[in-house]
Structure 1
Amino acid sequence: MPRRRRLETGTDWIQLTTTAADWKAADPALLGTMLAELHLIRAFEETVLALAAEGLVHGPAHSSIGQEGGAVGSIVGLRSTDAVNGSHRGHHQFLAKALTHVSGAAIDPRDPVTPEIQTVLQRTLAEILGLAQGYCRGRGGSMHLQWFEAGALGTNAIVGGGAPMATGNAWAQKHAGTTDLTVNYFGDGASQIGSVLES
């Protein structure tokens, strides 16, 4: 009979919550931009799922509904030269980076769809639908969204597969003498994958 022993990490879990003082000090324009991005990403995802239900998405359409806040909150303050890469469920990460890039992190929630934002939404949808107008000419699809100019290194279909790419990009940024940074997104399923731990 095998022996079993429960293992635990030595890392403490910490919960962060906002206070009334945080909300009072928050920049209304930034909050409006974040709200606009959240709504745009959610509407985009709902559209993708509707098109997938009609059989118009030829391949997987991995929705990120419910995860928009983490992407918007962590990306809205980044520069275009800062980089992000995401998981296979990374529409929200890609869109948050692309929307922040074209808007300069300033979107009016009363009228959020500027011509530049419309182009981002259209090209992203085209990529997911496999159309040539997409960022990767329709070859990447839902799981391989990439736009280097915006700092979107790409989403990845491999569990934990983005970590080596993010590490390499961060190394290149450091050795180029920049102050740029790279953010890598992955889920709990990837936290024990060798490529993540090694990166």
Structure 2
Amino acid sequence: MPAREPLAPRPAWTRLSTTEDDWDTADGDLLLRLLGHAVWIRAFEEYVLELAGQGLVHGPAHSSVGQEGGAVGSILPLRSDDLVNGSHRGHHQFLAKAFGHVTTPVPGRLPELTTDVRTVLRRTLAEICGLADGYCGGRGGSMHLQWREAGAMGTNAIVGGGVPQAAGFAWN
């Protein structure tokens, strides 16, 4: 019979929550951009999973469903010349960076699904599906998304693999 030992976290846990005052003072235009980009990423990820379920993604489809907010919130303030690399499940990080590169905020409105945004979605999907129109010519697949002009230096297939990549990009 296995031995059981109850575990407890050593550091104190902290709950973060918003107040009515936080929502009253929040920048509405920023919230619209965050929402728009997060919804685009979620819809994209669900479509990738649908295609993978039909056997149309030749290779892994490492979904980041549920992680859209973290990517959009952390990447939205960056410029195109700010370099980021992604994690093991990095579609959301790549798309958030690419959207920031091709979109222009319009006060009081959700971001528009422009031709440039549609091109990002099409080329990202092409890469994941192994098609030549992808950002890496279809050779990178789901785990190796890269678009230097947008500052998206690449996702990778190794958990924690972005750390040495980031160190290398810093020398660039």
Fold-level match, TM-score > 0.5?
yes
CA offset at residue 10 of structure 1? Answer: 7.9
The aligned counterpart of 1:181 is none
The aligned counterpart of 2:96 is 96
Letter in 2 for 1:30: L
Asked if 2 retains the 8 angstrom alpha-carbon contact of 1:88 and 1:144, the reply is no
Query: Within the alignment, does 1:53 sit opposite 2:53 as a pair?
Result: yes
Q: For 2:121, what is the secondary structure of its paired residue?
A: helix
CA offsets per residue over residues 15-70 of structure 1, 9 Å max, x none?
43222222122111111111111110010001101111111100000111111111
Letter in 2 for 1:64: S
Asked if 2 retains the 8 angstrom alpha-carbon contact of 1:144 and 1:154, the reply is yes
Asked if 1 retains the 8 angstrom alpha-carbon contact of 2:147 and 2:154, the reply is yes
Asked if 2 retains the 8 angstrom alpha-carbon contact of 1:77 and 1:105, the reply is no
The aligned counterpart of 1:64 is 64
Flag the 1:17–1:168 CA change in 2: closer, same or farther, 3 A. Answer: farther
CA offsets per residue over residues 110-147 of structure 1, 9 Å max, x none?
x6311110000000000001011100000000000001
Flag the 1:9–1:82 CA change in 2: closer, same or farther, 3 A. Answer: farther
The aligned counterpart of 2:22 is 22
Flag the 1:83–1:46 CA change in 2: closer, same or farther, 3 A. Answer: same
Count residues in correspondence: 167
Letter in 2 for 1:33: R
Letter in 2 for 1:44: F
Asked if 1 retains the 8 angstrom alpha-carbon contact of 2:88 and 2:160, the reply is no
CA offsets per residue over residues 140-171 of structure 1, 9 Å max, x none?
000000011111011010121110111232x3
- Identity among equivalent positions (%) equals 63
Q: For 2:142, what is the secondary structure of its paired residue?
A: helix
Partner Cα distance (1:75, 1:106) in 2 = 18
Query: Within the alignment, does 1:172 sit opposite 2:171 as a pair?
Result: yes
CA offset at residue 91 of structure 1? Answer: 0.5
* TM-score, with structure 1 as normaliser: 0.76
Q: For 2:153, what is the secondary structure of its paired residue?
A: strand
Letter in 2 for 1:99: F
Give the RMSD, CA atoms, in angstroms: 2.3
CA offset at residue 100 of structure 1? Answer: 1.0
Query: Within the alignment, does 1:74 sit opposite 2:74 as a pair?
Result: yes
Flag the 1:12–1:152 CA change in 2: closer, same or farther, 3 A. Answer: farther
Partner Cα distance (1:172, 1:140) in 2 = 23
Query: Within the alignment, does 1:42 sit opposite 2:48 as a pair?
Result: no
- The structure with the largest strand share of the pair is 1
* TM-score, with structure 2 as normaliser: 0.87
Letter in 1 for 2:92: H
Partner Cα distance (2:156, 2:106) in 1 = 28
